[in-house]
Amino acid sequence: MRLLVTGATGKVGQAFLPAFLREPRFADWSVVALCNNRVIDAADRLSVVKGSVADQDVVSAALSGVTHVLHLAAVKETPDQAIDVALKGLYLLLDRFCQLEDARQFILLSGDCVVGHIFQDYPEPITEQSPRRAYPGVYALTKVLEEVMIEQVGIQSGLNWTTLRAPWIMEKDDFRQAFAFGGEQFGGPPWSTLLDPQRHEQIRAGGYFPAMRDARGSYLKRSFIHVDDLVRAILSSIDNPQAFGQLFNIAMDEPIDYGRVSERVKTVAGLEPADIETPFHSNWLDNSKARKILGWRPEIDLDRLVERAWNYRRAADDPRIIWYPG
């Protein structure tokens, strides 16, 4: 068997490749990594093809001898690249892959942006049957179109596809930096969009933790997943007939409650909670289907997520990386 991985140099790809290569179930598999902006070194059982997924010749070369594809490559709010990478790239991969005699499975990594996460209000837990309702922006739109494209190609061609829909993916100190008030903040929303300058400075300088409230006044609840748990879900899906033709939510068992986070951080780091009103909605990405069908369950809960993030210290050769433009 031969697995093609796109986006192999990204956050998920860099965690996935070593886990895959040391997994006994895949000991006789080879891997080809399709890289563009960043390139990894070839190694035993691992070859590298450099180029864009929007280039049909590059895609054809990368798919030579491939039986499985794991499509991780993505761009964020970059309209000039979104169509090429997200849509043309995926189309070329699917079209060429479906023509291969030994094509067995195509796995797509999607995100909870397709259901709008905190931007859209859902009255019940979000399952795989919940309507797609993207939040504003090109990234969420392209992810919706990717999910639909792979499903429809499956209908047209009989392709064995699997889509894993993940919420905000954490590693190292990401979770701590997501709540930072300076330029080191990871992700969003930018505090300047929620706080006036005086309040922003007061909280930033005073040793506080941002305890966001949702549109109803309760503490915000939002789904997360640690990259290690996501990698285990991917490994559980590869060449698994139970996963063929299926969409799975891959998230923690419960969404993170920002009130509970503030309590844990006060204990761990001594930061006082500072309530921040927001227009966002609390949502719950239901992972029941993945737990039942894949036999997968996340291992990293709120306590372990906080512990890992607040205890992690970056070395000089471990800078924070923006994994995608935008």
The Cβ-side half-sphere exposure at 169, using a 13 Å CA radius, reads: 23
CB 282 within 8 A of CB 214: yes
- Structure tokens, 46: 């691992």
- CB-based contacts of 108: which residues, under 8 Å, 6+ apart? 71, 90, 146, 147, 150, 161, 162, 163, 164
Per-residue pLDDT, 302: 93
CB 97 within 8 A of CB 32: no
- Structure tokens, 129: 């049957």
Single pTM value for the model: 0.94
Per-residue pLDDT, 165: 98
198 C-beta neighbours (distance < 10 Å), count = 8
Per-residue pLDDT, 77: 61
Per-residue pLDDT, 326: 29
- Structure tokens, 178: 């997501």
pLDDT by 10s per residue, the chain, length 326? 999 999 998 899 999 999 999 999 999 999 999 988 787 877 889 999 999 999 999 999 999 999 999 999 887 767 777 888 889 999 999 999 999 999 999 999 999 999 999 999 999 999 999 999 999 988 899 999 999 999 999 999 999 999 999 999 999 999 998 888 876 777 778 888 898 888 888 888 878 889 999 999 999 999 999 999 999 999 999 999 999 999 999 999 999 999 999 999 999 989 899 999 999 999 999 999 999 999 999 999 999 999 999 999 888 777 776 544 32
